[in-house]
Structure 1
Amino acid sequence: MNEPPEIPAWKEELDAIVGARAHGQLAAILPRLQQLDARHPNVAEIAYQLAWTCDVLGRDAEALPWYEKAVALGLPGNELAGALLGLGSTLRQLGQFERSASVLRSAQLQFPDNREFDAFLALTLHAAGQSGEALRVALDALCDTAEDPGIRAYQRAIRHAAAKL
């Protein structure tokens, strides 16, 4: 008979901390996450939650190494997508536009169905002064995802105009 997989020692504590964050206790949980990371320094999920918390608190420079660590250690698919989005967004906020675009383009290839990467790439391109390319990315995403009958009816014209940007 197969036994259920053993839950890692850190998982229950991380879940409790994330639950507290959901109740608006952002600043209070940061030290708890840091203490958990000190006890379990090579857990990608803990690093990701540290990054996310720093990010939400507006501490982009602090979030960056946590995102990098989480991605390097390896995360499950959905969390990896979130970490890459956070990493790309944080890099943009820190003015590292080329690196941000690289992370977001790589994420688009890894997660082609996650169209949020298009929006964040458009923001990065715009911030980098590449407004035409940013608008093209945004318009292509709009045409690919919109269910609006007007957008659908003019999709070909929109794509044609976007290609000329």
Structure 2
Amino acid sequence: MRKGELAQAVRLREAGKTDEARHLLVDLARRHPDDAEVAYQTAWVHDVLGLEAEAVPYYETALAGQGLSAEDRLGAYTGYGSTLRVLGRYEDALETFGRGLEEFPRDPALRTFMAMALHNAGRSREAVSTLLKVVAESGKVGGYRRAVEYYADNLDETV
């Protein structure tokens, strides 16, 4: 029953029927309060609806629990950290991104969202450095990769 309802809620969210999905997921989360997968999907639907503050406890449950796939765990770290950043909780966001990077150290999306939180926390130099490293590793800078990597750590160096 739980699996079928969860699959239906995900289909509803993916189809843009987010209010219906939210109603179903909140009910599922009430009936399965320790289910990490249900909590993650419930957090996600709240984020889609712009209800970031309501997403927070669901993300916390999802990350504290067992049973998320690696992909969903990465999504939970990214979503939770981003949600905390949007709520102005920059240090909490940075701590969340840091925990996520312990598990997924090279993930470009996680690192990019962390760079945004670094900027919001007044650490723009670290933010730019992080973004330059992500860009260099993407392979989208052609023959300039070595230079971009160098300047990521030496931003103020000039002739």
TM-score normalised to the size of structure 2? 0.90
Distance 1:141 1:88 in 2: 18
1:124 paired to 2:127: no
1:56 corresponds to which of 48, 54, 61? 48
- Which of structures 1 and 2 has the bigger CA Rg? 1
State the secondary structure of the residue aligned to 1:154: helix
Query: CA offset at residue 109 of structure 1?
Result: 2.1
RMSD (CA atoms): 1.3
> How many residues in Structure 1 have an aligned counterpart in Structure 2?
154
Paired position in structure 2 for 1:159: 149
2:86 corresponds to which of 80, 93, 108? 93
Query: CA offset at residue 161 of structure 1?
Result: 2.0
5+ residue gaps in structure 1? 1-8
Paired position in structure 2 for 1:109: 102
5+ residue gaps in structure 2? none
Q: Deviations over 1:86-134 (max 9, x none)?
A: 1110111111111211211221220134221111011111111211110
Distance 1:59 1:18 in 2: 17
Distance 2:11 2:50 in 1: 20
Distance 1:132 1:32 in 2: 43
Q: Which residues in structure 2 correspond to 1:1-12 (within 5 Å)? A: 9-12=1-4
